[in-house]
């Protein structure tokens, strides 16, 4: 089965990591936050029910539901790929991001990390470009010469990222503020201007 | 216990909504093309024009399967990112306003809800034999610039946005990309950026 359907298995694993990361977020923020998040996504699914509706399931990104969806999904996409990379690394099969990203291994690259690293928040035709899927990877890695986003930020850990996901943090902007308040000295020698520039690259 | 139930219900809802509306029996595709800047001078004068050209013949080759496919009525597009090399680490590195743009074939435009100081949207024109892009980039201001055309990670046919989607890899085919203009200042670019970037100095 592993030989015949590697992509299905890898996609399933990444999906499980993604959904379990929502659960970890829930344990951190509690029922009230999570109910708001679930209601936001259910509202968008109800508004865009068609299987061929490009805005299913997250919506257009410019309505009242978008801020909490952007934050919740940014965490889940990051952790889904981060954990899949921990599991498969350079041996990952061609990774197919829903709905379309395909990254194949060449023996040295990390397909799951590449999905995050090469995410383009300014590609107009991507209806979910407003979900900052690559933001948290950019806060962890050390790639200051990246040309797609302004990434002078480095040194963050999963723990640092997770700690700022709190019950009163429902938007990406609030998340950035909580990162700053929890870390008067930002990791990796990062300055607040550099952190702001990275978030601004994702239009936050 | 109640928390666990809520989590399970939510996960089920998302899985169903995201994956299970309707079976998609079509695989995802991987297309690859090249783009070129010409003339290939490492420095130009204010007022000079750089031409950005790219051609994708029909039918397109799917690199995942090795087969060709007529992938029509799709969003054949990407972005053009222009950064001022000397301001690369600063908040104002976007250098779109240092150039004028004109589309001879295809389209180049600024889109709402994107960083228009740093990014232009580019789209290919579809015709019978393929998809083509020919854009004039006219220098307005002196400086050193790095131009990036990232891959389109979400290429889809407009009537099937969730099924049989694709990635369009757009590699720069210039024999000399003048990357030393950037790397002499900031150090080595990543393998991805080496394959997608081009540098030019404007006097």
pLDDT in tens, A29-61: 999 999 999 999 999 999 999 878 999 999 999
Give me the pLDDT at residue B20, please: 44
Question: Shortest CA distance to A123 belongs to which of A98, A148, A95?
Answer: A148
Give me the pLDDT at residue B68, please: 95
Q: Does B16 touch chain A (CB under 8 A)?
A: no
Domain ranges of chain B: 29-202
The verdict on a CB contact (< 8 Å) between B91 and A54 is no
Is the confidence at residue B7, as pLDDT, over 70?
Answer: no
Residues of B in contact with A127 (CB under 8 A): 161
Q: What's the rounded mean pLDDT across residues B77-88?
A: 98
Residues of B in contact with A143 (CB under 8 A): 190
Strand B166-172 with B29-38, pairing: parallel
Return the higher-pLDDT residue of B177 and B15: B177
Q: What's the rounded Cα separation, in Å, for the pair A103 and A96?
A: 7
Per the DSSP assignment, residues forming a β-bridge with B25 are none
Examine the predicted complex and report whether its ipTM is higher than 0.95.
Answer: no
Give me the pLDDT at residue A90, please: 63
Give me the pLDDT at residue A100, please: 43
Q: What's the rounded Cα separation, in Å, for the pair B121 and B137?
A: 13
Question: Shortest CA distance to B198 belongs to which of B165, B176, B183, B169?
Answer: B176
Q: Does B111 touch chain A (CB under 8 A)?
A: yes
Smallest CA–CA separation between A197 and chain B, in Å?
A: 6
Domain ranges of chain A: 6-201
Smallest CA–CA separation between A83 and chain B, in Å?
A: 18
Q: What's the rounded mean pLDDT across residues B142-160?
A: 94
Distances (CA, A) of A91 to A84, A107, A141, B199: 11, 7, 20, 33
Separate counts of helices (H) and strands (E) for chain A: 8, 2
Tally Cβ neighbours within 10 Å of residue B97. 12
Q: Which residue has the tokens 């990434």?
A: A151
- Residue A142 has phi, psi (to 5 degrees) of -125, 80
pTM: 0.90
Question: Shortest CA distance to B54 belongs to which of B100, B108, B109, B111?
Answer: B108
Give me the pLDDT at residue B6, please: 58
User: For testing the chain B interface, which of A33, A35, A123 should be mutated: the one with the most B CBs within 10 Å?
Assistant: A123
Residues of chain A below pLDDT 70: 1-11, 89-108
Q: What's the rounded Cα separation, in Å, for the pair A150 and A153?
A: 9
Q: What's the rounded Cα separation, in Å, for the pair A179 and A195?
A: 10
Residues of B in contact with A46 (CB under 8 A): none
């Amino acid at each position: 089965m592993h030989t015949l359907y590697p992509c299905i298995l890898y996609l399933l694993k990444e999906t499980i990591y993604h959904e379990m990361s929502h659960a970890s977020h829930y344990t951190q923020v509690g029922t009230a936050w999570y109910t708001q998040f679930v209601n936001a996504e259910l509202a968008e699914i109800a508004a865009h029910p068609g299987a061929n509706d490009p805005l299913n399931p997250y919506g257009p990104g410019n309505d009242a539901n978008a801020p909490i969806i952007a934050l919740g999904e940014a965490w889940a996409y990051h952790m889904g790929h981060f954990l899949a990379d921990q599991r498969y690394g350079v041996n990952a099969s061609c990774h197919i991001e829903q709905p379309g990203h395909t990254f194949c291994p060449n023996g040295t690259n990390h397909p799951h990390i590449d999905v995050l690293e090469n995410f383009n928040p300014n590609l107009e035709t991507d209806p979910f470009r407003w979900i900052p899927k690559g933001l948290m990877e950019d806060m962890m890695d050390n790639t200051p010469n990246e040309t797609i986003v302004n990434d002078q930020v480095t040194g963050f850990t999963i723990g640092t990222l997770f700690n700022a996901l709190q019950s009163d943090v429902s938007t990406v902007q609030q998340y950035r503020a909580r990162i700053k308040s929890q870390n008067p000295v930002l990791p990796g020698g990062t300055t607040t201007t550099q952190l702001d520039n990275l978030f601004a690259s994702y239009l936050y | 216990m109640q928390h666990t139930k809520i989590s399970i219900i939510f996960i089920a809802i998302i899985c169903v909504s995201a994956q299970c509306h309707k079976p998609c029996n079509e695989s995802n595709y991987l297309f690859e093309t090249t783009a070129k800047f010409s003339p290939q001078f490492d420095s130009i004068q204010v007022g000079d024009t750089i031409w950005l050209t790219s051609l994708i013949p029909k039918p397109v080759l799917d690199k995942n399967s090795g087969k060709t496919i007529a992938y029509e009525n799709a969003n054949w597009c990407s972005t053009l990112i222009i950064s001022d090399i000397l301001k690369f680490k600063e908040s104002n590195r976007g250098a779109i306003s240092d150039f004028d743009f004109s589309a001879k074939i295809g389209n180049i435009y600024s889109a709402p809800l994107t960083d228009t100081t740093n990014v232009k949207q580019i789209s290919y024109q579809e015709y019978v034999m393929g998809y083509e892009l020919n854009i004039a980039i006219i220098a307005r201001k002196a400086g050193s610039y790095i131009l990036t055309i990232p891959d389109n990670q979400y290429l889809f046919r407009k009537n099937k946005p969730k099924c049989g989607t694709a990635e369009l890899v757009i590699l720069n085919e210039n024999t000399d990309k003048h990357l030393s203009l950037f790397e002499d200042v900031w150090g080595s670019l990543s393998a991805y950026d080496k394959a997608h970037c081009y540098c030019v100095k404007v006097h």
